[in-house]
Chains A and B, each alone.
Chain A
Amino acid sequence: MSSAIAPKLSGAAAHPIRSYPKFLWWGLGQATNGGLLFYLWMFVLTAIALVGANAWAVQVANGMIVTNMTDHVSWGLYIANFTFMVGVAAGGVMMVIPAYLYHDKKMHDVVIIGEMLAIAAIVMCLLFVVADLGRPERFWHLIPGIGRFNWPMSMLTWDVIVLNGYLLLNLHICGYLLYMRFLDRQPNNWWYVPFVWASVFWAISIHTVTAFLYCGLGGRPFWNTALLAPRFLASAFVAGPAFILILFAIIQRVTGEKIDDGPRRLLINIIRVTVVVNLLMVVSEVFTEFYTGGGHTASARYLFLGLHGHNALVPWIWTAMAFNVVSAGLFLSPLVMRYSTVLIVACVLAFIGAWIEKGMGLIVPGFIPSTLHEIVEYTPSLAEWKISAGIWALGLMVLTILLKMSMAVISTSSKPAMPENL
């Protein structure tokens, strides 16, 4: 952070509320400073995001017919990505628990990375939902007070509440802590500790509610299993930390700053547990599906083996299975601790494996065969790929900017990222 100039605001000179916009502006300025590589990165992301924005505008103008979804498979790539990103958001706070529950000081400096990841992931989730609406201009019907909010009956309204709540919580926590550090002040525990605790439970709730969205539907046997929510959580707590480990490696590369070994080890240990739990649950589910047989197995058979000659998802799910098993093997071996390349490979495999399994491998087979047992297959259209890539690019832009802002604050301040007196 050579370009970081220490903020002139300090102590009593700054008004704690009025200076906040200035802090944001300063952070934004810092976040948009960087080397050639940074500008290239942001340029590429912007280009992809623009392609996505254009595809979305075309979709709104021409209607959902530009997607390949049908009355048979009425949710596709958007909702698949949405489901997966909710998991990443939930997994992002995995470091909050050790940092606060076990007063692990070493975690304090990196916990903010997880929260930034959560913010970017939730922004992506909301965008994926908007992209999936047939009438996005009617989104206001969903706003409590002016619309008609089917609460508490609809799980989708619950999801809207918990996702937005989670976004606000994380924005508040990160914003407050960084701002205090920017002002060189001691954060007031009352202003954030309760929110930190809330965010931990909230992280679990966002993913549970998202699972309930599917497992509450009696007409779709593939989803209608009590294991769905725990399975979601387990894979979220693999994918989230795996992504953070990749981020660590990138940050270390780019900034040259050494990130402490403690957090890394802790994340690997978290994954070691959750990866095994996740595999165990997948095995239980596959067992109950296939050992009993019968009509309820049709979707699982379609997914894993193909059904009546239809097998579009078979290569996908076996790729995911292979990735999951290999990454689990790598995570459980001592190699991940010793060689960073092995760790990165394991993380990438775990992340992609979870993306396929929780995305296309979960949403699409829920619709195939349909409730009247017709088989209509689905492959996303080019428009769907463009919009999804655009949302991913935008999410990565948000994440990059947030991380650069926070690193600018941290590197210009003498205090640790988190107060030590918890």
Chain B
Amino acid sequence: MPILNQPPTRRTALKAAGAALGLAAFGKAISPLWSIPENVSTDEFLQQHYKELTDEDKRKVFERLEAETKELHGASVTISDPKPIPGVRYGYAINLSKCNGNGACMEACNKENNHHRGVDQSYIRVLEMSKGSMDMEEGNTTYDHTVPQDDKYYMPVQCQQCDNPPCVTVCPVEATWKEDDGIVVVDYNWCIGCRYCEAACPYHARRFNWEEPEIPSDEVNPDQGYLSNRIRPQGTMEKCHFCLHRTREGRLPACLEACPTGARMFGDLNDPDSDINWVLKNKRVFVLKEDLGTQPSFFYFFDS
């Protein structure tokens, strides 16, 4: 190429050698990437957003995920996709006079939702608060003394299923959204792992899968929902979903069932006879950080 004005001199030869060497070194440097095709199949890579999947697509996806769970975790599971019940809108309330900080809810959450066992993960955090203060700065989640302490009260916090959820607003790829029954869900197969929603949530309700989850195969909960408690892939976001694979079938959330003090109330806000509506009508309830305008569906109250 005379136009380039670079006759094949020693310099060009050296450059070519340098470039070749650089490329080879680059190939070597990124070689850890070659292990990825094993973790990410083409089907998974090309999978569309949940809302774009037809029933047939979903069937295939669920089958694939079930097979993967069998292979990776040695457990046979069924993945279902319960839909919101028309006309139902869920609410949750906690009686702070009853909660004694025993942590049974966290444990139940960990088991029910197939959390990674290494880190005692749970969607719930129970703050130990000083009596006489609503200031969370005085709260503490890492206590290991016996509970309850006399001068303390206990405040469980989990996803508040906000009506105006900042986590949904900020997600760049619509990987998280609010369903008709008020539950905010995540498509774990669409999330790109930017963690913007985690930064946006004012209630520290979101968890990121920093690690590949590990669960002993006999402890895997086989009753799984695609948008809820199936084992989440590494590098994606997850959160409390009001146990939608249970509640949409008329059962109660696992944390409520596990609570030994009866501090938890759950139900349909649209049903005048539900427990939750009884609480809203008869107790003076409040929500956390009301000033932020997130409009939680999660309420707190004290007896008396």
Q: Which residues of A does B touch, CB under 8 Å? A: 5, 7-9, 22, 25-26, 29, 32-33, 46, 50-51, 53-54, 56-58, 60-65, 67, 69-72, 74-75, 129, 132-139, 141-142, 147-150, 153-157, 160, 213, 216-220, 295, 298, 366-367, 369-374
In the complex, B212 has a CB within 8 A of chain A? yes
Closest chain B CB from A334 CB (angstroms): 45
- Alpha-carbon distance between A149 and B192 when the two chains are bound, in angstroms: 12
Q: What residue in chain A is nearest B30 (Cβ atoms)?
A: A57
- The residue among B1, B235, B292 with the most chain A CB atoms within 10 A of its own CB is B235
What total of chain B residues lie within 8 Å of the partner, measured CB to CB? 71
Of the A-B pairs whose beta carbons lie under 8 Å apart in the complex, a sample of 5, sorted by A's number, is A9-B3, A57-B32, A369-B137, A372-B127, A372-B139
Q: What residue in chain A is nearest B189 (Cβ atoms)?
A: A138
Contact B3 A22 (CB under 8 A): yes
- Alpha-carbon distance between A281 and B265 when the two chains are bound, in angstroms: 48
The verdict on A5 contacting B5 (CB below 8 Å), with A141-B173, A298-B137, A372-B127 known, is yes
- Alpha-carbon distance between A132 and B139 when the two chains are bound, in angstroms: 31
- Alpha-carbon distance between A177 and B200 when the two chains are bound, in angstroms: 43
Which chain B residues in 68-127 approach chain A with CB under 8 Å? 125, 127
Contact B174 A148 (CB under 8 A): yes
In the complex, B216 has a CB within 8 A of chain A? no
Chain B residues whose C-beta falls within 8 Å of the C-beta of A57 in the assembled complex: 29-33
Q: What residue in chain B is nearest A138 (Cβ atoms)?
A: B192
Contact B4 A22 (CB under 8 A): yes
The verdict on A372 contacting B136 (CB below 8 Å), with A33-B11, A160-B172 known, is yes
- Alpha-carbon distance between A374 and B174 when the two chains are bound, in angstroms: 29
Contact A64 B193 (CB under 8 A): yes
Contact A373 B139 (CB under 8 A): yes
Contact A370 B199 (CB under 8 A): no
- The residue among A53, A150, A218, A371 with the most chain B CB atoms within 10 A of its own CB is A371
The verdict on A54 contacting B32 (CB below 8 Å), with A22-B3, A141-B173 known, is yes
Chain B 273-286 interface 0/1 with A at a Cβ cutoff of 8 Å (1 = within) = 00000000000000
- Alpha-carbon distance between A332 and B148 when the two chains are bound, in angstroms: 61
Contact A134 B235 (CB under 8 A): yes
Contact A53 B26 (CB under 8 A): yes
Which chain B residues in 284-304 approach chain A with CB under 8 Å? 289, 292-294
Contact B36 A74 (CB under 8 A): no
- The residue among B22, B137, B293 with the most chain A CB atoms within 10 A of its own CB is B137
Closest chain A CB from B38 CB (angstroms): 10
In the complex, B190 has a CB within 8 A of chain A? yes
Which chain B residues in 196-239 approach chain A with CB under 8 Å? 196, 198-204, 206-212, 233-237
Query: 9 closest A-B pairs (Cβ-Cβ)?
Result: A134-B193, A219-B202, A134-B235, A156-B172, A54-B29, A57-B32, A57-B30, A61-B32, A74-B195
Chain B residues whose C-beta falls within 8 Å of the C-beta of A295 in the assembled complex: 135, 137
Closest chain B CB from A134 CB (angstroms): 2
- The residue among A5, A71, A139, A372 with the most chain B CB atoms within 10 A of its own CB is A372
Chain A residues whose C-beta falls within 8 Å of the C-beta of B137 in the assembled complex: 295, 298, 369, 373
Contact B173 A75 (CB under 8 A): no
Q: What residue in chain B is nearest A19 (Cβ atoms)?
A: B3
Contact A60 B4 (CB under 8 A): no
Chain A residues whose C-beta falls within 8 Å of the C-beta of B212 in the assembled complex: 63
Chain A residues whose C-beta falls within 8 Å of the C-beta of B139 in the assembled complex: 372-373
Closest chain B CB from A3 CB (angstroms): 8
Contact B289 A219 (CB under 8 A): yes
Q: What residue in chain B is nearest A298 (Cβ atoms)?
A: B137
- Among B56-64, B163-171, B241-249, the one that faces the other chain is B163-171
In the complex, B191 has a CB within 8 A of chain A? yes
Contact A60 B191 (CB under 8 A): no
Q: What residue in chain B is nearest A62 (Cβ atoms)?
A: B32
Chain B residues whose C-beta falls within 8 Å of the C-beta of A136 in the assembled complex: 192
Chain A residues whose C-beta falls within 8 Å of the C-beta of B17 in the assembled complex: none
Contact B201 A371 (CB under 8 A): yes
Question: Which one, A50, A213, A367, A371, contacts B29 given CB within 8 A?
Answer: A50
Other than A70-B210, A133-B192, A219-B289, give 20 A-B pairs with Cβ distance below 8 A. Answer: A8-B2, A22-B4, A29-B4, A57-B29, A61-B35, A63-B209, A64-B193, A133-B194, A134-B191, A142-B172, A142-B192, A148-B49, A160-B172, A218-B166, A295-B137, A366-B199, A372-B136, A372-B141, A373-B137, A374-B141
Contact B204 A372 (CB under 8 A): yes
- Alpha-carbon distance between A218 and B293 when the two chains are bound, in angstroms: 9
Contact A60 B173 (CB under 8 A): no
